[in-house]
Amino acid sequence: MTNLSKRTVDAAKPGTMLWDSSIPRFGLRTTAKGTKTYVLKFRQNGRQRWYTIGRHGAIVPNGAAGEVWTPDRARKEALRILGRVESGDDPALARREHKEAVTLGEFAKRYLEDHVDAHNKPSTALETRRNLDNHVLPKLARGKTTKLKDITRDDIVRFHLSMKDSPYAANRCLALVSHMLAQAEEWGILPNGSTICRRIKKFREEKRRRFLSPSELGRLGDALRALEEQGANSHAIAIIRLLALTGARRGEIEGLCWAEVDFDRAMIELKDSKTGAKIIPLAPPALEILANYPRLESSPYAFPASGGDGHYQGIMKIWLRARKLAILPDVRLHDLRHSFASVGASGGLGLPIIGKILGHASPATTARYAHLADDPVKAAATSVASIIAANLAGTSGTIVPLKSRNPQ
């Protein structure tokens, strides 16, 4: 026997069983493949029982946020289980009953706190929360008491089909549910091999290339001014305008902090974004919005939430109203980013410059605007050809003589 510690656990060899010297029949079992699990052996009603406490390093079910199984934490759990055994309880039955009682909502909360927040960027975590709150929980759960174990493959297929009009969002939510169920297996809440999302056919995603024309941008501007006069939320109006004027991602402006705004150099400097550190240039119209926007001294955010410590997140309600007033039923908020790029490409900006402004990690992402970058080239060729055609026809036209490389 040895005292189980981090050192002895890390040194445990495959295919071995180590018993703890401080608690009888509490130990670490290491499989031939190297998986290390804390176990407890006890007698109850004349029978020898084995109880699996948890895998070393795995998240502790119903523990504190981010708490994992360590020798000390497993030892504490072993003492708790032995106490229940002495009082006549069946710990294995109690754990089974608890697993079966976990609701989808309860599991979603733990999934966000112990997995999403711990392993993802804030922007990714925010998007996951939105998908859970707006789609998964309202549509997949049949009520607040829907048990995780009671969700069937048919439930998930119906949920996926209910979002068929938004294939991209539907496929992302299907992937989210699949990962949640896999994590439930990892945490021992669902039995291994119970994943029910396999081979559910995803919807075909057609890449959207929706850019707002000058007249459509004009209608959107009119709609925003009208909403402003009606007393619509000033945060939402300012965010929408900044999205149009910068080509930034929604989360980058929604969660903007004043410390990230450099007024002297006219830019936003993000230490982290979807693609890492990023600079967002601020043209005079965008800079003016921020320079004149009121600050709340108690919040670091440019657009703070009305309650709590976070930032404003109610932009979609105002966006839908603006879209309706502007008669732009098919335009998404993200299309403002596409429109910024399209105006740049049509105006003669090179694709590398556009990619730099938008913060694209790959040139392939910016390549979607390549056809628009041809517009100024075509316009120039048309202008030159028109002058030459006019001269060939004997009509007015101006010919600019080429300079000789070897003047005589």
Backbone angles phi, psi at 42, to 5 degrees: -150, 170
Judge whether 31 lies within some domain: yes
Pseudo-torsion of CA 182, 184, 188, 192, nearest 10°?
-30
Last residue of a domain, one of 186, 215, 249: 186
Euclidean distance between CA atoms 257 and 301, whole angstroms: 4
**229 and 362 both lie in a single domain:** yes
Residues 52 and 39: beta-carbon distance below 8 Å: yes
**164 and 294 both lie in a single domain:** no
| Cβ neighbours, 10 Å, residue 194 | 12
Higher pLDDT, 302 or 59: 302
Tell me which residue has tokens 């999205």.
243
- Per DSSP, the residues of 331-398 read --TTHHHHHHHHHHHHTT--HHHHHHHHT-SSHHHHGGGHHHHHHHHHHHHHHHHHHHHHHHTTS---
Last residue of a domain, one of 100, 127, 155: 100
Compute the average pLDDT of residues 253-265. Answer: 90
Euclidean distance between CA atoms 181 and 108, whole angstroms: 10
Judge whether 203 lies within some domain: no
Which stretches does DSSP call E strand in 141-204? none
Pseudo-torsion of CA 151, 156, 162, 166, nearest 10°?
130
Structure tokens at 322: 């603006």
pLDDT (tens digit, 9 = 90+) per residue, 42-85? 887 778 888 888 889 887 876 666 788 999 999 998 998 888 88
pTM of the model: 0.53
Judge whether 29 lies within some domain: yes
**32 and 58 both lie in a single domain:** yes
Helix (H, G, I), strand (E, B) or coil at 255: coil
Helix (H, G, I), strand (E, B) or coil at 81: helix
Angle, CA of 163, 169 and 173, to the nearest 5°? 85
pLDDT band at 400 (very low <50, low <70, confident <90, very high): very low
pLDDT band at 368 (very low <50, low <70, confident <90, very high): low
Last residue of a domain, one of 44, 78, 100: 100
pLDDT band at 179 (very low <50, low <70, confident <90, very high): very high
Judge whether 379 lies within some domain: no
Judge whether 44 lies within some domain: yes
What is the span of the domain harbouring residue 359? 223-369
